[in-house]
Structure 1
């Protein structure tokens, strides 16, 4: 393997360039930035590179991976934790390495989930606009007290666990669902239960699980019907966990009282770009945006200075580690096997 990775980074934003350039390891790679997503129309740009650095909405299906492999790309370096957009089986067959950033400031996403909860509940976004217009009327701003409310956390990995720790300070009753219970969270008073009990009991439900075949449209018409009337649903994980059309129906019937989204199942056509001067063609998204009790942010849960620094560090270490055959240990203590989904 060569010692200096030659990397094509797709879906690059200005903050990506800044955070990667600020890290000392940046000097050890040759990095070319492309501010467009990786897909069938842009794959020709990958000629001459041995590594592709991709993000959550880049296309890495069988057709793309096959073409990347043919052009000499040996390593897909995801600069995020999720990899549901990567055809892992195909990469394995092709002998391509796939790496990720398994944990980067999980508190950042957990705090954003809490911000969505608090904003939807106390309607501070509406109060802000009212007061700026000289309107101090409180009607329509009524919230509820979080203390003693039951909050269901689906998935207690790094981010879900961070949210549990935050919510414990509010005096909430916390229900958790995860195949691998966290004893540390139990010590805080969190209770592990089955998914159906969590969905039917919780006043607030927050999703923090990966997207796969089993979890796709985890929130659907049937699971929505099992929930309390007026429940609050928060998703800062992956858009595909929620059936958007089913959620729209649940909002119309008042089954859902609040919806907070930082992700959306068709976000690849919308997020991380400015569409303010365009007519958005996604009718499902536009319908969601019309509800007064829906709050949508554009996948910004990870967006803190600390998280960007950690993403840059681990991604650069992954690139250099693979290129050097893992001869030098990582400075960051995260285990290699959790970073690399495939090591040929």
Structure 2
């Protein structure tokens, strides 16, 4: 098997894990590009059989069409979500799309819990105080997580893992998903989104981004929430209308916000901007709130998850090249 693969949005850790996985497959030739795949960079795909992309690469119709003209027949996502791919265009131009549906749900679930605990007990603020010799506890009071009602919106692999962890803390867990999980329903209560919004002390989002979930959290849905609610998002940034969220924070309807994703993250995340002026005024406004905690899309970032992503992605590529791709990982 000979297969030329272009890896876009490539970081050093991607190179390490993908190279190790590729060593198990003779003929898999990897070319690494730090740049994202966009209309401006698609010309780099000349001579490639497959492009390997991540969450912030842009695969709209113009890019998919260009890939097809260049002879690329396979888009291998090294993530679970595929909202950044125009699937209609991929089908139109006969380009196969694969993904990694369940690389390590516990990694993201544990990060969601870490955001909850950090915001609640204000450990990030306490850390800075102690380093400065300030041991005053004023302003650091949290609440006991045990007994709180937590709403989990989306109970796929990650949402289910999150619900199990929350049950371990002694929380009452309310769930919503268009396709309820019968095994999770034994310990958790499936209900409507409206009830989750109106009754939950904490709401955590674990759903894909599509037409139905775009700006799921908006001015209207925020208005239905309990005063002082904590909101966590480790899924996709566009689940939240950020302008409406800022209004909710200013009115104190939102008591705290923890996000690992951001709607306009493509121009920010996975790069060092510490010596630059950030021109995204909405993001900078979020940063001013003391009750907002932002991490840069690192929920997936564990050793186990990275190894699984690399292994499954290379297997998807090899299986496609050999004409024996499993439907489990195929999007179209």
Whether the TM-score (by the shorter chain) exceeds 0.5 is yes
Match of residue 283, structure 1, among 281, 301, 317 = 281
* Structure 2 residue aligned with 1:331: none
Give CA-to-partner distance per residue, 1:74-124, whole Å, 9 cap, x none.
Answer: 000000000000000110011110000000110000000000000000000
* Structure 2 residue aligned with 1:132: 131
- 5+ residue gaps, structure 2: none
Quick check: 2:197–2:221 contact (8 Å CA) kept in 1? yes
* Structure 2 residue aligned with 1:330: none
TM superposition shift of 1:22: 2.0
TM-score of the pair, normalised by structure 2: 0.98
What's the secondary structure of 2:230's corresponding residue? strand
Structure 2 residue 180 is matched with structure 1 residue 190: no
Quick check: 1:20–1:26 contact (8 Å CA) kept in 2? no
* Structure 1 residue aligned with 2:249: 251
> In 2, Cα distance between the equivalents of 1:315 and 1:176?
31
What's the secondary structure of 1:341's corresponding residue? coil
How is 1:293-332 mapped onto 2 (pairs within 5 angstroms)? 293-326=291-324
> In 2, Cα distance between the equivalents of 1:266 and 1:92?
27
What's the secondary structure of 2:328's corresponding residue? helix
* Structure 1 residue aligned with 2:67: 68
What's the secondary structure of 1:340's corresponding residue? coil
TM superposition shift of 1:25: 2.7
Give CA-to-partner distance per residue, 1:103-159, whole Å, 9 cap, x none.
Answer: 011000000000000000000000111111110000000000001100000000000
* Structure 1 residue aligned with 2:174: 175
> In 1, Cα distance between the equivalents of 2:46 and 2:122?
50
> In 1, Cα distance between the equivalents of 2:195 and 2:168?
23
* Structure 1 residue aligned with 2:330: 340
Structure 2 residue 145 is matched with structure 1 residue 155: no
Quick check: 2:150–2:173 contact (8 Å CA) kept in 1? yes
* Structure 1 residue aligned with 2:41: 42
- The count of aligned residue pairs is 331
* Structure 1 residue aligned with 2:11: 13
TM superposition shift of 1:27: 4.3
> In 2, Cα distance between the equivalents of 1:148 and 1:79?
37
Structure 2 residue 217 is matched with structure 1 residue 219: yes
TM superposition shift of 1:185: 1.2
Structure 2 residue 231 is matched with structure 1 residue 241: no
What's the secondary structure of 1:183's corresponding residue? coil
Give CA-to-partner distance per residue, 1:288-322, whole Å, 9 cap, x none.
Answer: 01100000000000000000000000000000000
TM-score of the pair, normalised by structure 1: 0.95
Quick check: 2:197–2:225 contact (8 Å CA) kept in 1? yes
Q: Which 10-residue stretch deviates more, 14-23 or 58-67?
A: 14-23
* Structure 1 residue aligned with 2:268: 270
Cα RMSD (Å): 0.9
TM superposition shift of 1:20: 1.1
- 5+ residue gaps, structure 1: 328-335
> In 2, Cα distance between the equivalents of 1:73 and 1:200?
48
What's the secondary structure of 1:338's corresponding residue? coil
TM superposition shift of 1:241: 0.2
> In 1, Cα distance between the equivalents of 2:177 and 2:245?
23
Give CA-to-partner distance per residue, 1:215-263, whole Å, 9 cap, x none.
Answer: 0000000000000000000000000100000000000000000000000
What's the secondary structure of 2:261's corresponding residue? coil
Quick check: 1:25–1:313 contact (8 Å CA) kept in 2? no
Quick check: 2:25–2:318 contact (8 Å CA) kept in 1? no
Give CA-to-partner distance per residue, 1:35-57, whole Å, 9 cap, x none.
Answer: 01011111110101010001000
* Structure 1 residue aligned with 2:31: 32
